[in-house]
Amino acid sequence: MNDMTNKWIGQRTIRPDGAEKVTGRAAYAADTTMPGMIWGKVLRSPHAHAVIRSIDTAKAEALPGVKAVVTRADIVDFPLDKPVMLGIQDMRWMSRNVMAREKALFHGHPVAAVAATSESIAAEALRLIEVEYEVLPHVIEIDDALRPDAPILHDFLRFEGKPSNIAGKLEHKLGNIEAGFAEADVVIERSFTTRPVHQGYIEPHACLVSVAADGKTTIWSSSQGQFMVRAMTALLTGLPQSDIRAIPAEIGGGFGGKTIIYLEPLATLLSKKSGRPVKMVMSREEVMRASGPTSGSKSTVKIGATRDGRLVAAQGTFWLQAGALPGSPIRGAAGCGFAPYTIPNVVATGFDVVSNRSKVAAYRAPGAPIGAYAVECVIDEVAEALGMDPLELRLKNAARQGTKAAHGPVYPRIGFMETIEAAQAHPHYNTPLGEAPAGRLRGRGVASGFWFNAGGESSAQVNITEDGNVVVTTGHPDIGGSRASIANITAELLGIDYKRVSVLIGDTATIGYSNLTGGSRVLFASAMVVTQSAEKVITSLKERAAKIWKIDPEAVAWENGEARPVSENAGRFPPLSLAELAARATETGGPIGAGVQLNTTGAEGGFATHLCDVEVDVDLGIVRVLRYTSFQDVGRAVHPSYVEGQMQGGAAQGIGWALNEEYIYDRQGRVENAGFLDYRMPVCSDLPMLDAVMIEVPNPKHPQGVRGVGEVPLVPPLAAVANAVHDALGKRFYALPMSPPRVLERLEG
Amino acid sequence: MAKIHVTTTVNGEPVEFLCEPQQSMLDVLRGPLGLTGSKEGCGSGDCGACSITLDGRLICSCLMLAVEAEGHEIGTIEGMASGDGLHPLQQKFLEMAALQCGICTPGVLIAARALLEKNPDPTETEVRFGLAGNLCRCTGYDKIVRAVLETAAEMRGAKAEMPEAVR
Ligand code: FES
Ligand code: FES
């Protein structure tokens, strides 16, 4: 872990999968084909809420070229009375999300699927399926869903004994909230709303599935977890997991949105029925209508502080949209908002609210940006009321080693204060905003954020090739450069050039169970299993050298990719290189390699502080980010470029969330902007350079000091931008996005 | 439906194919021609993942009819590297980690090459507008812009002046 002695950890090496990606050769799911392949398509509900009385597929099945049709009758159902959990997902809801059962619950909800010999025949067949609907009143917004006369989505949901659209509640409590507020000199309470936003991965969901005559099934798909694909598909189709081989294609972005499945069980059933490999690819419109965005929200946050700037009480209530089926990320919203601070008295409550929208999916630190938006905006107001610098207030109350967080843990060594101090000392914070051109106003905002991070199950296999190079296999789809980091770590441990290490992602048949790429866990967890595997390999290499030299294995050291005697006393032998030992593997005990499978623990939380400068055009209402700097405790930057990349990408997504992105619904409950033209994500010309300052406070519970870095970057930006807009205009916004029409409205109001 | 016969050039090589009249160039590239390096992110001209060149001009192949290729020259990502050598932009993207998931990368590279052919010495702003038709959701564009500026400088034989993060 000592920087001075590291040769590869911390180096900006070339990623192992890079050349294939810049030449267009990398195989993503939609690029995969098979002989005899046919095309699957999904029929989707044209109504936001409707009972499905009947589905008649006869005409579609009679169309020449149609090979199979599946409906709700083909998907495994689960009794509603008890949860069927797979990780954090309840398969009762997943089954109903993949295919509508009694009711269509949102516009775009799958109702049937067909497979045909061409895409156009499949599309034609969809038009021939006759579905009889009984249209019901629908509800989209939280406030409407909570009204006493609201249409109830699910008869089986009860809240406080009554039928309700509230699907769940979570509460964190610390100290005595009344006593805390009684101690406060300043109390600020505000209410906020945010709109649902999509993860916006550029690659639509896609899969190719082949079910052979004996039931052996191969799935190539775009997902954040091949084992998740296998398990969920098995549960929804009734196939045993041992019959399913799920192969992770290269993934074109996920950001949490590919931690669940949509197409795989449908394609599997279609392939089983037709006897042909079936390919399914969503259109962008389908992605926007029917794959999960993250929740829209409303929240109220109240914070009390003493005159000298001590935060003494904090209360937050967060209502999150789940979409049509339960499961919004209230844990992230209620758990993360106050987590960066030492506040003795806290109550944080989250409510999970269903309505006739597509079911939400994880999006980078699920829920945390929503919680942090409200909390960090109120902290900004508290600082203003106290006449304190907003970073100074944060520093004074920053969580540190020993702080007890309301969501449970007592923090070990963390680097949150360091992120604030780095921001204070950075040229960005110390450079005046400068004169804005006529008709424009400038402002600067700050905000901080926290994300839990995760450990969990991982497997790795490290094998030495016969010519003395290394192949590492892990079980996590690489979504942003994790293979590059694993190459660095393996090279470091074995003392060889990183180019001699090849890193592969195994499929469900070739590597042990590994949990999702999610929770910022991949490098944390895979580095642990790779490290332990490499250590076993080194032990074996030393034993082999000892055998050749006929000395005790204890007397052999592994240095710079070679075995050598620990000292002259052990004997005088020329060193044996990895290549030499590999060449003599057969005589010294056989193939050299080791695998480790673990349930990893010790992924400690991550913290960041962001600075944002904006310029607002007061005539057009356009907010432009002029300068943006993120400061994050990254634990250990094993490959700094890809750590910075996470920080920059998260900041850009947060800026989009703050300024432009939102789902817009019409009166019939249909998404009106289901495409990239009208769902406006930041393009290159919208953004400035995004500075990323990595602060390395190594995680004491990890061999390389790694902390998760992928999700924290999306937590602070919403409030950082909002606080900057306030600084520019002198007016506060309590709703996102701060899009041009909203800004103009606020300026006039 | 009767198919149409098209004779064209793809990455410098003569190519013939049959297509339906309404089929997009992107579909033909990815389907019958097996050139899956061009990606479909939207099919509506809004993401740039399908970027190719038509007689050297940057276009979205999802918006071009395949029949329009007749007699023209198509350039795709598969033709960007020559022999065993990567194009300087490809090399720089690797060195500077200008890709994460890589799904936007073929389109971004084609757009960046088209930009540098027109303007070998672009400013940061010119690069940003030159790539404004290419969505990338992973990188926040920072490393992409830097890699393009640095490649441009290298191709001119100059040293890149990296923009500082100042207004
Ligand atoms: S696929 Fe052509 S622009 Fe998106
Ligand atoms: S690298 Fe993933 S979209 Fe650009």
For chain B, the farthest-separated pair of C-alpha atoms sits apart, in whole angstroms, at 58
The CB density around residue A12, as the number of other CB atoms within 10 Å, is 16
Instruction: Return the ligand 1 atom nearest residue B135 CA.
Output: 4
The DSSP letter of residue A113 is E
CA dihedral (A331, A335, A336, A341) in degrees, to 10, reads 180
C-alpha A375/C-alpha A9 separation (Å) is 36
Residue A121 distance to chain B (closest CA, Å): 12
List Cα–Cα distances, B70 to A415, B54, B65, in angstroms: 61, 11, 10
Pocket-forming residues, ligand 2, beta carbon under 6 Å:
A 202, 253; B 99-104, 136-139
pLDDT tens digits for range A123-157: 999 999 999 999 999 999 999 999 999 999 999 99
Residue A323, by phi and psi: left (phi above 0), alpha (psi -120 to 50) or beta? left
Listed residue (A451, A388, A367) closest to A416, CA to CA: A451
- Going from N- to C-terminal start, the domains of chain B cover 4-79, 88-162
- CA A296 – CA A553 distance, rounded (Å): 61
Contact between B139 and A27 using a beta-carbon 8 Å cutoff: no
Say which residue the tokens 């069980």 belong to: A265
Provide CB contacts within 8 A for A19, sequence distance 6+.
B86, B94
Helix axis angle for B105-118 and B88-95, nearest 10°, is 130
Q: Are B26 and B37 in contact (CB under 8 A)?
A: no
- Burial label for B55, CB within 10 Å (0-12, 13-18, 19+), is exposed
Name the CATH topology of A18-25+454-600: Aldehyde Oxidoreductase; domain 4 (3.30.365)
Whose tokens are 């800004």? That residue is: A743
Q: Are A203 and B39 an interchain contact pair (Cβ–Cβ within 8 Å)?
A: yes
Q: Is pLDDT of A1 > 50?
A: no
Cβ–Cβ below 8 Å for A201 and B103: yes
Query: Which residue type is seen at B59?
Result: I
Question: In this structure, which amino acid lies at residue B80?
Answer: M
CATH of domain B4-79: 3.10.20.30
Sign, CA torsion A428/A434/A439/A441: positive
DSSP state of A216: -
Nearest CA-CA partner of B21 in B56, B54, B69, B57: B69
- SS (HEC) of A183-203: HCCEEEEEEEEECCCCCCCCC
Q: What is the pLDDT of residue B166?
A: 37
Query: Chain A: nearest CA to B70, how far in angstroms?
Result: 24
Q: Kindly give the pairing relationship between strand A623-633 and strand A690-695.
A: parallel
- The model's pTM is 0.97
pLDDT digits (tens, 9 = 90+) for B85-102: 999 999 999 999 999 999
Of B44, B103, B132, which has the smallest distance from its Cβ to A284's Cβ?
A: B44
List the domain boundaries for chain A: 18-25+454-600, 32-136+202-253+258-290, 297-453+604-748
Whether pLDDT at A749 is above 80: no
Domains A18-25+454-600 and A297-453+604-748 share a fold: yes
Q: Which residue has the tokens 């969920």?
A: A232
The closest of B144, B141, B9, B109 to A26, measured between CA atoms, is: B109
- Looking at CATH, the fold of the domain delimited by A297-453+604-748 is given as Aldehyde Oxidoreductase; domain 4 (3.30.365)
Token pair for A708: 């998760």
Cβ neighbourhood burial of A554 (10 Å; 0-12, 13-18, 19+):
exposed
Residue identified by tokens 């919403």 is A718
- Residue B9 to residues B57, B70, B71, B73, B78: CA-CA distances in angstroms? 14, 8, 7, 5, 13
Strand partners, A503: A472
Both structure tokens of A226: 């091949």
Chain A residues within 8 A of B38 when measuring between CB atoms: 24
The CATH number corresponding to B88-162 among 3.20.10.10, 3.40.50.720, 1.10.150.120, 3.40.50.300 equals 1.10.150.120
**CATH 3.30.2130.30 fits domain A32-136+202-253+258-290:** no
Which A residues, 173 through 232, put their C-beta within 8 Å of a C-beta on chain B?
199-204
Q: What is the pLDDT of residues A376-422, one digit of tens each?
A: 999 999 999 999 999 999 999 999 999 999 999 999 999 999 999 99
Q: Is the CB of B60 under 6 A from ligand 1?
A: yes
Mean pLDDT, residues B34-51:
98
Mean pLDDT of chain A: 97
The residues that bridge with A695 in the sheet, in sequence order, are: A633
Query: Given B76, B90, B138, which is nearest A253 (Cβ)?
Result: B138
Whether the ω angle into residue A737 lies within 30 degrees of 0, i.e. cis, is yes
Chains A, B: CB contacts under 8 A, how many?
Answer: 199
pLDDT band, very low/low/confident/very high, at B160 (cuts 50, 70, 90): low
pLDDT higher than 80, residue B165: no
Q: What pLDDT score was predicted for residue B84?
A: 76
